[in-house]
Amino acid sequence: MNDGNAAARVIQDLRARATAAEPGTRLPSVRELTAHHRASPVTVAEAIRHLAAEGLVEARSGRGTFVAPRAAPAHHAPDLSWQTVALGPRRSGDEMQALLALPPSNAIALSGGYLDADLQPAAALGAALARAARQPASWQRGPAEGRAELRAWFAQQAGSGLRADDLVICPGGQAALSSALRAFAAPGDTLLVESPTYLGALAAAHAAGLRVVPVPADDQGVRPEHLAAAFERTGARLFYCQPLHANPTGATLSATRRAEVARSVRNAGAFLLEDDYARDLQIDGDAPPPLAAADPDGHVIYLRSLTKSAAPGLRVAAIGARGPAGARLRSTRLLDDFFVAGPLQQAAYEFVTSPSWNRHLRALRAALRSRRESLLAALARHLPELQPPAVPRGGLHLWLRLPDTADDVAVTRAAADEGVIVFPGRPWYAAEPPAPHLRLTYAAARPEQMDEAVRRLAAAIRAR
């Protein structure tokens, strides 16, 4: 007996009967259908479940199978026009949705903010989460600011500038960033940012009602003389910065500029929000310590996430500040979502304190180097005019300047038509961009895909 063909016959028969009959009509029994179609009872039962899932029939225990009630036909299309008035002006967010969109299955991704699945330590994370889930204590509430042992690990990683009590655990870096902007600035206040800067920071600042003022940066990070001038001109009290492998440019704040930036912040009586997202994404040499490690007077608000260096589903980050600023931050986080799920915190702690963490970081460094070099080699072959002026020593991205006459958004659309996904430079600027750029992510595609990806990108650029 061919159960597949029999199931199809039963489904076709029952669908025809249910469609023709009135709701509530009793349909043939399982025994009758078994005999009629020469099918097994299991096959008939599966057919009934299939049609029940479609809403055509319903099985009543001990009574049989009946035609399901039909939804009453709508007399008119829903009128949602009232929402236009209730919602008010449109808010930003389209760029973030585009950044997080999953690429088509037939495209090569050179965009995205997370590691390719091949680079994620899924097995080690799964094992850690399974162990955590079996511990009854992990399901209990725990401290609102997060598990003490996990906060202590983040504090140790930040250097001598912060203690465990200064930190609070958050469900990812974006949540921590949003909380910090609301904790240290009020709607209408000024936020200084590097230009260009992380798109998520711009989106969070706009959502918080902040006035964003860009400060020029180059391949050595933010330019201190412009930062000092911006503080003096605007009276800002908060500067958002990614000193290590900034997204999107990959720039690292140079040793000489670190002290100058700290002096400008201190002289302005301001805070520096240090987003240390790339701490675990170093490729060449050793990364400089966080700015928070040399901050005796509590000007630095320190943020570090595990999501970028592990897996998108590991939504665990820590943010902290010293003194009253830390208390302000902790109270803001409490209002946002109480606390991060205990099993996730426990799994994160078990993972980062196990040998698996260091093994993962060693393998990740080698894999990112291979992918970066493959992308650079492909650019040299197919688009030599777009070679980056400086190769980032870590992070996930290359920042490429297009010809002045190019439209980066149009190039991005054309590239998608060719089957390669890249991201335009325009959304990373708080003001008008000085030139068109593309951000290419080397963490999202395998080394053997890079040549074909850049070949497609070259075709898109030259076709315009």
pLDDT in tens, 344-399: 999 999 999 999 999 999 999 999 999 999 999 999 999 999 989 889 999 999 99
Q: What is the pLDDT of residue 93?
A: 66
DSSP E strands in 252-371: the ranges are 271-275, 300-305, 317-320
- Give the mean pLDDT of 425-438: 94
Q: If you average pLDDT over every residue of the chain, what do you get?
A: 91
**Residue keyed to tokens 């750029």:** 437
Residues in the chain, overall count: 464
Are the CB atoms for 302 and 158 separated by under 8 Å?
A: yes
The sign one gets for the Cα dihedral 95, 97, 100, 106 is negative
Are the CB atoms for 19 and 56 separated by under 8 Å?
A: yes
**Which has the minimum average pLDDT: 7-16, 50-59, 66-75, 116-125?**
66-75
**Residue 86 pLDDT class (50, 70, 90 cuts):** confident
Query: Pick from 274, 322, 263, 275: which is nearest to 298 by CA?
Result: 322
3-state secondary structure 120-184: CCHHHHHHHHHHHHCCHHHHCCCCCCCCHHHHHHHHHHHCCCCCHHHEEEECCHHHHHHHHHHHH
Query: Pick from 192, 247, 242: which is nearest to 214 by CA?
Result: 192
- HSE, side-chain direction, 13 A CA sphere, residue 190: 13
82 pLDDT higher than 90: no
Residues 31, 37, 39, 43, Cα dihedral to 10°: -80
Long-range contacts of 47-53 (CB under 8 A, 24+ apart): 47/7, 47/10, 47/11, 47/14, 48/14, 50/7, 50/11, 51/11, 51/14, 51/15, 51/18
Q: What is the pLDDT of residue 1?
A: 45
Integer Cα distance of 34 and 357 in angstroms: 57
> Exposed, middle or buried, 17 (CB in 10 Å: 0-12/13-18/19+)?
middle
Q: What is the pLDDT of residue 85?
A: 79
**Backbone torsions φ then ψ of 172, nearest 5 degrees:** 105, 160
Distance of CA 23 to the CA centre of its chain: 47
Are the CB atoms for 177 and 205 separated by under 8 Å?
A: no
**Residue 138 pLDDT class (50, 70, 90 cuts):** confident
Helix (H, G, I), strand (E, B) or coil at 22: coil
Query: Pick from 302, 278, 177: which is nearest to 221 by CA?
Result: 278
Tens digits of residue pLDDT in 238-291: 999 999 999 999 999 999 999 999 999 999 999 999 999 999 999 999 999 999
Are the CB atoms for 278 and 242 separated by under 8 Å?
A: yes
146 pLDDT higher than 60: yes
**Residue 36 pLDDT class (50, 70, 90 cuts):** confident
Using a pLDDT cut of 70, give the percent of the chain over it. 97
Tens digits of residue pLDDT in 199-247: 999 999 999 999 999 999 999 999 999 999 999 999 999 999 999 999 9
Q: Which residue has the higher pLDDT, 166 or 105?
A: 166
- Give the mean pLDDT of 419-447: 95
Are the CB atoms for 398 and 383 separated by under 8 Å?
A: no
